[in-house]
Amino acid sequence: MSQHGTEATRAALGGQISYAQSWKDPAVLLGGLRVNADDDVLSVCASGDNSFALAIAGARSVTAIDLSGPQIALAKLKLAGAKHLNLARFHSLLGLSGLGQRIYLYHLLRPHLDEATVAFWDANEALIREGLLGCGKFEHYLSLFRDRMLPLVHRQSTVDEFLDLADLDAQRKFFAERWNNRRWRALFRVFFSQTVMARSGRSAAQFAHVEGAVSGAFLERTSHVMQEIPIASNPYLQWILAGKYRDLEHSQPYLSAEGHKALGIAADRIEFVHDDLITHLAGVEAGTYSAFNLSDAPEYLSEAESETLLRACVAASGVGARLAYWNLLVPRWRPPSMAKMLSRDTALGERLIRQDRAFVYGAFQVETVECSTFSH
Ligand SMILES: C[S@@+](CC[C@H](N)C(=O)[O-])C[C@H]1O[C@@H](n2cnc3c(N)ncnc32)[C@H](O)[C@@H]1O
């Protein structure tokens, strides 16, 4: 791997699993990229979940890339589980059922894994014992929120009542009358302040390009999702508040019975690359990819590096290729200097972000390649 990307991000994320699950809504991503059987997608790997969603949705190939070795090891183990374990065992490996036997299941999968993946998991069997979906630094932070902070604000019965609500009007009323009290707002602001998050949830390097206070933005986005998106169909809020999904048929696509089967079949169309985006893209030919899931990677880069990344995507694709990425706290989209190369669909991006069940993001960018770097 070369010097491209944010070295601080690489160092901060390097040795551990940061995200065991995707905290980005696949429905938003699929709505932006609209992949089909002609698409070859380059997708930031992270937990693997959104790359799996793209493969299940029918992309011809998905190249899941990450500069973090542990994230790749996680996604490879999940994928081997989808391919070689039945649904009950797969859910157990992920921590979604009480079946247990996780180390035994890992040893069943071990012969199907490459050397680097085996080396990582042999040294981290304790994470497997926890269940894969709870094993990331960010998921540990969320469980701290659920187990230590939430009980200071709401009784378990109040949380359960909230999660049981079946319609949006009742949810809005409950939020206004029972949930959104002064204590909730005050403790939320402390727990999701940049200082606390940088210590325990996200790394300081992930805030490098952020300006201004972050807890107010997160509080506003949380208030929005708690009032505008039905909690019964929001797996993200369910996990944050309860540490589990209420309905596996309607959470991540690969967790349903059909999705598990589809991922097992699609597994051979998914490849992994352990590298940073810019270095990888510099080494591929024009036309290699037709769609890009950049996660929110552009906002970990400086403006100049972010432009380098977008130009590299254009050079590695062709006219009509789509790019999709989120903005969490830093506004990032194609700069004016690239206006002829990339068109922004701001209406689609705005519509999709309003429906985003993962709710912490401020914006979603959907861009289409209009002409290549060379014809410009
Ligand atoms: C962008 S992070 C998502 C973080 C999460 N949304 C947040 O903001 O806390 C998702 C994954 O992208 C990877 N990543 C970040 N920058 C990258 C780059 N330049 N090239 C390849 N992977 C990158 C990280 O290692 C991580 O696994």
> What are the φ and ψ backbone dihedral angles of 317, each rounded to 5 degrees?
-125, -135
* Nearest in space to 41 (alpha carbons), one of 306, 288, 364: 288
Report whether 314 contacts 222 (CB < 8 A): no
Q: Atom 4 (ligand 1): residue with closest C-alpha?
A: 296
Type of residue found at 215: S
- What is the position in ligand 1's atom list of the atom closest to the CA of 13? 25
Per-residue pLDDT tens, the chain, 376 aa: give them: 344 445 656 555 668 999 999 999 999 999 999 999 999 999 999 999 999 999 999 999 999 999 999 999 999 999 999 999 999 999 999 999 877 899 999 999 999 999 999 999 999 999 999 999 999 999 999 999 999 999 999 999 999 999 999 999 999 999 999 999 999 999 888 888 766 666 655 566 665 655 556 778 888 999 999 999 999 999 999 999 999 999 999 999 999 999 999 999 999 999 999 999 999 999 999 999 999 999 999 988 999 999 999 999 999 999 999 999 999 888 899 999 999 999 999 999 999 999 999 988 999 999 999 987 554 4
Of 94, 193, 186, 202, residue with least CA distance to 141:
202
Show the ligand 1 pocket: residues with CB < 6 angstroms.
5, 9, 13, 18-19, 23, 44, 46, 65-68, 71, 202, 206, 276-277, 295-297, 300, 328
CB 290 within 8 A of CB 40: yes
Q: Are 263 and 254 in contact (CB under 8 A)?
A: yes
Is 5 in a helix, a strand, or coil?
A: coil
Gap from CA of 279 to ligand 1 centroid (Å): 15
pLDDT at 118: 98
Q: Whose CA is nearest to atom 10 of ligand 1?
A: 46
- 3-state secondary structure at position 368: strand
Pocket mutation for ligand 1, best pick of 7, 18, 44 (most atoms within 8 Å of C-beta): 44
Instruction: Name the one residue in this structure whose structure tokens are 């352990």.
Output: 274
Structure token pair of residue 124:
């981290």
The protein residue with its alpha carbon nearest to ligand 1, atom 27, reads 46
Tell me the C-alpha distance between 329 and 319, whole Å: 30
Question: What DSSP string runs through 324-338?
Answer: EEEESSS-----GGG
* CA of residue 44 to ligand 1 center, whole Å: 7
Q: Which amino acid is at 333?
A: W
- As a whole number of angstroms, the distance between CA 244 and CA 237 comes to 10
pTM of the model: 0.93
Which atom of ligand 1 is least distant from the CA of 301?
A: 19
User: Is there a contact between 339 and 371 (Cβ–Cβ < 8 Å)?
Assistant: no
pLDDT given at position 199: 63
**% helix, strand, coil for the chain, step of 5:** 55, 10, 35
Pocket test for ligand 1, best of 214, 300, 332 (most atoms within 8 A of CB): 300
The pLDDT value given to residue 331? 86
pLDDT the model gives residue 2: 40
Tell me how far the alpha carbon of residue 246 lies from the centroid of ligand 1, in angstroms.
28
Ligand 1 atom nearest to CA at 71: 27
- For ligand 1, the distance from its centroid to the CA atom of residue 296, given in whole angstroms, is 7
Residues whose CB is less than 8 angstroms from the CB of residue 144 and which lie 6 or more positions away in sequence, other chains included: 200
Nearest CA to ligand 1 atom 13: 66
Element at 369 (helix H, strand E): strand 363-369
Tokens of 85: 């374990």
Domain boundary assignment for the chain: 137-250
Q: How far is the CA of 183 from the centre of ligand 1 (A)?
A: 33
Question: What does the alpha-carbon distance between residue 247 and residue 228 come to, in Å, rounded to a whole number?
Answer: 20
Q: What distance in Å separates the CA atoms of residue 181 and residue 129, rounded to the nearest whole number?
A: 37
Centre of ligand 1 from the C-alpha of residue 294, in Å: 8
Ligand 1 probe mutation, 4, 28, 295, most atoms within 8 A of CB: 295
Are the beta carbons of 67 and 1 closer than 8 angstroms? yes
The residue contributing the CA closest to ligand 1 atom 6 is 296
Convert 145-161 to b/e letters by CB count within 10 Å (16 or more is b). bbeeebeebbeeeebee
